[in-house]
Amino acid sequence: MSSSTTTTQISRSVQLWLLAGVVMVFFQVVIGGVTRLTDSGLSITEWAVIQGTLPPLNEAEWQVAFDKYKVAAKKQFETLHADMTVAEFKVIFFWEYAHRLWARMMGFVFLFPFLWFLMKKQLPGWLLRRLGVVIGLAMLAAVFGWIMVASGLNNDNRTWVSAYKLVAHLGIATTLFGYLFWTWQRAAQPTVADGHLTGLRKLGWWVAAVLFVQIAFGGLMAGMRAGLIHAHFPVFVEWGRFWQVLTAAPVGAEQVLDYEPQQSIKAVVQLLHRSMAWVLSALVVWLFLRIRRAAASARLRFGGNLLVGVLFVQFLLGVLTIINCIGRVPMALGAIHQAGALVLLAVLLHVNYQFSKSAQK
């Protein structure tokens, strides 16, 4: 992300449009998380960009969709949903349909105001360039979303999509969210007062890198259902049993690639995610203390306070999620925890933005 800001005044309507985009991407990621937690992602077996806008409209069409699911996602159906009825299929279909429909809505919300603002010459060059990147990231996320879904279809060895492709899809979506948030931040706040704090700028971006890795580990946790391995906090509760799972088998290339029947690799992923949470917490607190001691603006000090507050809530959500992973990951807590990660990222980007160098563009 560019470290510079612009002193060009962006109209209020453009700012609100950009903010609406940020909010829509946020909810798209959250809906995607719910889709994962409800085993809904394989319920729509075709990537029909235009025809797929309408769901099945009568019982005959619902039966056809259900039959396609039973064939294309045979392993998942037989393993997890062998006794599923058409009525129950409609529930999982809803979440995947909502995920895809929301993506289409984002396209419309972007396109028509964009053309209007372009015609009115309200989009300066720097903003047009960044919006081009936004479009590219959105298209990449959509294509990789289908690649991810396809990885779980017609594969007799997998009950779900590839966890690694899920992480790639989540990573692209998170990058899109962060990039669009930064773009809105530049439009809404053209000047900053803390660009002289170069040391804090470096620390802030290190924290952002660790947070991104932590979000990726969270994606692996979801993709592998790794939370079910050890539903205790702290990790040393029933450590002996967890250690047995962790060391039950070597974690080599074969276990990493064919992770579904393995337990050790899932234990490793959980340990990494939990360990990284402590590292991230320490770095955020360090950044907060550095801000408190620096000659910082009121906006930056508020951002630092908010960052620590959101971190505390997010850590607590992580604990509540893991200790309630009994049999399955709790949907509400899992979705809120994922949403919290994006909120934490947004607050951190707001803090990092205050360290930017002012420049005319």
Residues 57 and 183 in one domain: yes
Mean of the pLDDT values across residues 279-307? 96
pLDDT at 6: 46
Question: Does pLDDT of 4 surpass 70?
Answer: no
**In whole numbers, what is the pLDDT of the chain averaged over residues?**
91
Q: Can you give the pTM of this predicted structure? A: 0.92
Residues 121 and 244 in one domain: no
pLDDT at 42: 85
Residues 159 and 282 in one domain: no
Residues 206 and 347 in one domain: yes
Of the candidates 329, 319, 336, 307, which has an alpha carbon nearest to the alpha carbon of residue 27?
336
Mean of the pLDDT values across residues 202-224? 96
Residues 20 and 54 in one domain: yes
Mean of the pLDDT values across residues 223-249? 91
Question: Percentage of the chain with pLDDT > 70?
Answer: 95
Within the chain, strands assigned E span 4-5, 357-358
Question: Does pLDDT of 51 surpass 90?
Answer: no
Residues 92/39, Cβ–Cβ less than 8 Å? yes
Residues 266 and 343 in one domain: yes
pLDDT in tens, 6-35: 456 899 999 999 999 999 999 999 999 999
Range of the domain at 60: 1-191
Residues 175 and 306 in one domain: no
CA distance linking residue 311 with residue 153, whole number of Å: 37
Residues 170 and 284 in one domain: no
- Report in angstroms the alpha-carbon separations of 276 from 119, 214, 215, 218: 47, 6, 10, 10
Q: Which of 143, 158, 191 is the last residue of a domain?
A: 191
Q: Which of 172, 191, 210 is the last residue of a domain?
A: 191
**Helix axes of 298-323 and 264-293: crossing angle, nearest 10 degrees:** 160
Tokens of 134: 């936004």
Mean of the pLDDT values across residues 186-200? 93
Overall number of domains in the chain: 2
pLDDT at 2: 44
| Other Cβ atoms within 10 Å of 117 Cβ, number | 19
Residues 244 and 345 in one domain: yes
pLDDT in tens, 148-169: 888 888 776 778 888 999 999 9
CA distance linking residue 92 with residue 74, whole number of Å: 15
Question: Does pLDDT of 53 surpass 70?
Answer: yes
Q: Which of 171, 191, 211 is the last residue of a domain?
A: 191
Residues 93 and 240 in one domain: no
The band of 3, judged by pLDDT with boundaries at 50, 70 and 90, is very low
Residues 269 and 170 in one domain: no
pLDDT in tens, 134-147: 999 999 999 999 89
Mean of the pLDDT values across residues 317-337? 94
Residues 263 and 138 in one domain: no
Residues 6/126, Cβ–Cβ less than 8 Å? yes
